[in-house]
Structures are given as C-alpha cells and as structure tokens.
Amino acid sequence: MLSIGQLVDMQWKLGMAVSSDTCRSLNSPFVSLLLKIVEPSGQICQRAFEMTIPQFQNFHRQFKEMAAVMETV
C-alpha cells in the first residue's frame, strides 16, 4: 500500500519577473505556490515552486480532473 501525504493548505500569488542576473527585461508573469503537506508520519512539510501562466493553467486543469475523479470514488 502506498502512503502519501495529505494536502492541508495551498497558498498562491501572482508575480511579475522584470529582470534577472542573465536577462535585463523579462516582463514575464508567474504563479508562486506554497503547499503544506502532512506526511504519514505526522510531520508537516512545505513545498514551494513557481510556474509560468500556461504551466499553472495546466496544473489547474489537472487538479480539477483529480477532484472530479475523487468525487466519484
């Protein structure tokens, strides 16, 4: 049996990358996510990552599909 953590909180924010060390003018929007997960051991861990807008839209679509499947179980 596979033991996985439980998602207990998800925070997001929209940002705009305006420059970096290698590129002076990016002007690229991004979504920053912070997930809080309770591991099977009871320990809470946080995972943070950033996605482009198309990546976030794909993530959102997949999340909605998972939610729909979970409602049928």
CB 5 within 8 A of CB 39: yes
Which pLDDT tens digit goes with each residue over 38-73? Answer: 998 899 999 999 998 899 999 999 989 988 998 887
CA dihedral 60, 49, 35, 66 (to 10 degrees): 30
Beta-carbon neighbour count of residue 33 at 10 Å? 15
**Was domain 6-72 assigned CATH 3.10.450?**
yes
Which pLDDT tens digit goes with each residue over 5-47? Answer: 888 999 999 998 777 666 666 778 889 999 999 998 899 999 9
Spell out the long-range contacts of 43-46 with Cβ–Cβ below 8 A and sequence spacing 24 or more.
Answer: 44/8, 45/5
pLDDT, position 13:
94
pLDDT, position 5:
87
pLDDT, position 72:
86
The residue ranges of every structural domain in the chain are 6-72
For residue 72, the surrounding DSSP H or E stretch is helix 53-72
